[in-house]
Structure 1
Amino acid sequence: MAIGRRGVLGGVAAGALALPAIGRAQGGGVKIGLVAVQTGPQAALGTQLRDGFLQGLKHLDGKLGGLAAEVVPIDDELRPEVAVTKVRAALERDKVDFVVGVVFSNILAAIMRPVTESGTFLISTNAGPSTFAGKGCNPFFFTTSYNNDQVHSVMGQVATDSRYGRVFVMTPNYQAGRDAVAGFKSRFKGEVVDEVYVPLTQLDFSAELARIAASKPDAIFTFMPGGLGVNLVRQYRQAGLAHIPFLSTFTVDEATLPAQQDAALGFYAAAPWAPNMDNAQNKRFVADFEAGYGYVPASYAAQSYDAAMLLDSAIRKVGGRLGDKDALRTALRAADFRSVRGNFKFGANHYPVQDFWLCQVAKRPDGRFQTETVRKVLENDIDPWAAECRMR
């Protein structure tokens, strides 16, 4: 367990050392409240998110739309009440022009009203709950990630395409885990041979692994973020089950691979982006990110980098007139920037319309681990809640 914890948190120290000095914006500048968890075992994800946005600012010479940019860091501590207090301070005391970031959906839900009711644009770079994709869509809310349901549904489609008739499903026993199962089932046409929910504090998966071995499924589907995923992957390999295809979401990625290493080789993930995507913007982002921060970026970083580019394009379109909210919203909707993931545009609900990929864990010649694209599964996919959004 200690080894896994060091691996997952390894990026935190590297990111902190690489944190650049962002000068305080003067008159005519733009202030960004950057919400990124920096406390506890999930800080690695927040560090990825933070460093991705800062890499975007580096590529933009510290400016957004030609305006000097100041970042106001906000550690939400993965506590909704703390997030609300700190975000209110950023809005009222620091007078931030935008609030950007957020790893977890419960934090996003907590800060949504105080941010948007103040007439401030909130750009989520990871959390994408269905709550705000359908009837709860908001003219002051955008996300550069995805709707949460979509990524899990990708693996349901993969299982169907691969003609896996019998799949064992296992996720944590909380709302996001149950949402993951629902997303998977939405596109899976076969039989779920067992549906197992484990505590968020689970360390030992021996009982569940025995059930998998006994049921002899064609594949397993799992969503086990952070330390859960580190333990499951290592124990799955040790139990001799690697011959059963491992389909996952947020279980094997660049935030957990430093701890999982060889145990994760060949395992599958679903994502709208991977470090090896073959386009000029992505190649530049990955190369400069690794050079600057010393670790491989995950989707948390890539989506935050895109958020910086989105803001740059929108502020430039309105000539720096941050007070013209209607014009700024129109400029954000245009998404006139080059995304690291290739195809990207906003739907009517301000959630991306984009491609989703089946990815596989690989070991690079330099010894580092990353996920790499295998094939495109969904093209220009619109999230399932968009039709319920009345915002046009």
Structure 2
Amino acid sequence: MPRTTRSRHRRALLAGLLALGLTTASASGCAGDGGGTGSPGTIKIGLLASLSGTYQAVGTEIRDGFQLYLNNHDGKLGGHKIELIVADEGNGAPTAVPAATKLIKQDKVRALTGIVGGGSVAAVYPVLTEAKIPFVGSNGRPELKDVSRVWVTSYLSEEPGAAIAPHVRDTVKGPVYAIGPDYQGGYDELRGFTEAFAKAGGKLANPDGKTRWTPFPNTTNFTPYFAQIKASGAAAVYTFYAGSAAVDFVKQYAQSEIKDVPLYAAGFLTEGGVLNAQGEAARNIYSVLNYSPDLDNAANRSFVAAWKANHDGSPTTYAMASYDAAAVLDKAIGAAGADPTPEKINKAIEDLGQIDSPRGTWQFSKTTHSPVQKWYLRQVRQDGRALSNTVVGDLATIGG
């Protein structure tokens, strides 16, 4: 074929391809990492959660909640196929930091989600800041200096205690003993309660007026602490434990000399699989949480049905918050355009309005980047053949 004929042939072919939107650049956008102007491409999201250690059950729920959303949306967020890269947070910072560093620097994820421990969030924070990628956390979050790229779909760690403290003050006739684990999450959770309790006029039964801390993660025998509570003359106990520590605490409490002293807690004490492990020992415990699977709204009915189709038992607040993290990223990535860079995703999150959630509708606080949401009072009661965390009242709506 003469050169001029070949040139005309190439020009005609190119014009046809352009008309069909099938140029090489567009094709690479389809197969690549979200670039180009054709169909959205695959992008990477990192999920860091405790898949081993004390909070393995919590981390598993976080992973499964996010995956459930992906399963229900054809593996896509914002129209882009998602490669979800999961890493193990372990028991805290020593394992969380290298795992997060790999996700961010080697795997080059566009956003990070998950993280069980507040201490892990604080330790990973400098890596996130350096990389300038958004973090959409799905469990408690400690105080941070700059939250411009930090969002949380669950709560701030001090909020559960702050939400229930006025109710405890109005209900309990006498001083309350505060006890919890000696690490960042425990400090934040118990501070939320003790500060709000004091503001409401409540008095602690602790001899020095300060929370009693138990070494974490090594404390498995709580009997000596129950003797101290007995000696204090406490009219009730407020606590925060989760995971295997929650099972140990509740089982031993039910067999102790203070078993008849009312027990109030952040909802994680009896949440999810730990309630099954605690069994009858957990009956009548009061707790505060931002979610219960018995909430009567359309989004929750759909969520619970989808969860039960794939899992034994009901979903937890951990699964719900991670499901919502995926929903947030879905909306944000979709709004970020054909090439959803970390900066564009973060800006899109900032511009989101209300989120329709299994917990009820909520939205991000403009100052704390955490949910403005309602908190519920729950009690462990018989529900058919099993014990369940049953909502018995509404508490405060909290959000900065």
Alpha carbons of structure 1 residues 311 and 335: separation in structure 2 relative to 1, 3 Å: farther
What secondary structure sits across from 2:310 in the alignment? helix
- Which residue matches 1:182? 191
Name 1:251's counterpart in structure 2. Answer: 269
The separation in 1 between residues aligned to 2:320 and 2:345, in whole angstroms, is: 26
1:166 matched to 2:166? The reply is no
Q: CA deviation at 1:267?
A: 0.3
Cα offsets for 1:149-208 (capped at 9, x unmatched): 111222312212325331122222334333333211222122211243222322222233
Corresponding position: 1:268 with 2:286: yes
Alpha-carbon separation, structure 1, partners of 2:75 and 2:296: 26
Alpha-carbon separation, structure 2, partners of 1:331 and 1:206: 47
Corresponding residue number in structure 1 for 2:377: 358
Q: Deviations over 1:280-312 (max 9, x none)?
A: 111211221122022332211110000011111
Cross-structure match for 1:197:
213
Q: Supply the AA of the counterpart residue of 2:204.
A: V
Q: For residue 372 of structure 2, what is the amino acid of its counterpart?
A: V
In structure 2, distance between residues paired with 1:170 and 1:324: 40
Distance 1:39 1:335 in 2: 35
Partner of 1:77: 90
Higher relative contact order (CA 8 A, sep 6+): 1
Change (3 A) 1:251 1:238: same
Identify the match of residue 150 of structure 1 among 151, 159, 169: 159
2:255 and 2:342 map into 1 onto residues whose CA distance is 58
The worse-fitting range, judged by mean Cα deviation, of 188-197 and 325-334 is 325-334
Superimposed CA distance per residue, residues 36-87 of structure 1 (whole angstroms, 9 cap, x where no aligned partner): 1112232111101000101111221211011111101111223424333332
Q: Which region of structure 1 is more displaced relative to structure 2, 59-68 or 240-249?
A: 240-249
In 2: Cα distance, 1:232 partner to 1:88 partner = 34
Alpha-carbon distance in structure 2 between the residues aligned to 1:80 and 1:245: 34
2:237 equivalent to 1:238: no
Q: Does 1:66 align with 2:68?
A: no
Task: Measure the CA separation in 1 of the matches of 2:118 and 2:151.
Answer: 14
The question of whether the paired residues in 1 share the 8 Å contact of 2:226 and 2:253 is answered with yes
The alignment of Structure 1 onto Structure 2 pairs a total of residues equal to 354
Give the distance between the partners of 2:286 and 2:399, measured in 1 at CA: 23
Contact 2:56 2:243 in 1 (8 A): no
Shift of 1:128: 1.0
Structure 2 residue 110 is the aligned partner of structure 1 residue 97: yes
> Is contact 2:92-2:117 (8 Å) kept?
no
**Structure 2 match to 1:140:** 149
Q: Measure the CA separation in 2 of the matches of 1:227 and 1:89.
A: 28
The one-letter amino acid of 1:191's match is K
**Which residue identity is paired with 2:83?**
E
Q: 1:196 to 1:291 in 2, by over 3 A?
A: same
> 1:208 aligned to 2:221?
no
Tell which structure's C-alpha radius of gyration is larger.
2
Query: 1:91–1:175: structure 2 CA closer, same or farther, 3 Å change rule?
Result: closer
Q: Percent identity?
A: 31
TM-score, normalization by structure 2: 0.82
Q: Which amino acid aligns with 1:352?
A: P
Give, in whole Å, the separation in 2 of the partners of 1:257 and 1:44.
12
* Cα pair distance change 1:124/1:47, threshold 3 Å: same
Whether 1:56 and 2:74 are equivalent positions in the alignment is: no
- Seen in structure 2, the aligned counterparts of structure 1 residues 332 and 310 have a Cα distance that, compared at 3 Å, is farther
- Aligned partner of 1:355: which letter? K
Greater shift in the superposed pair: 72-81 or 341-350: 72-81
Q: Secondary structure at the match of 2:219?
A: coil
Question: Is the CA contact (8 Å cut-off) linking 1:36 and 1:49 kept in structure 2?
Answer: yes
Conserved 8 A contact 2:132-2:342: no
CA distance in 2, matches of 1:325, 1:74: 23
Aligned twin of 2:396: 378
Structure 2 alignment gaps of length 5 or more: 1-30, 35-40
- Does the Cα contact within 8 Å between 1:310 and 1:332 map onto a contact in 2? no
Tell which deviates more after alignment, 289-298 or 252-261. 289-298
Matching residue of 1:223: 240
Counterpart residue identity of residue 274, structure 2: T
- TM norm structure 1: 0.83
Structure 1 Cα separation of the partners of residues 141 and 203 of structure 2: 28
Structure 1 gap segments, 5+ residues each: 1-23, 384-392
2:57 to 44, 47, 52: 44
Q: Structure 1 CA distance, aligned partners of 2:192 and 2:101? A: 34
Distance (whole Å) between structure 2 residues aligned to residue 322 and residue 175 of structure 1? 34
User: Is the Cα contact below 8 Å between 1:314 and 1:336 reproduced in 2?
Assistant: no
Aligned with 1:373: secondary structure? strand
For the 8 Å contact 1:254–1:370, the answer to whether it is kept is: no
Q: Distance in 2 between matches of 1:352 and 1:285?
A: 19
Q: Are the counterparts in 1 of residues 290 and 376 from structure 2 also a CA contact under 8 Å?
A: yes
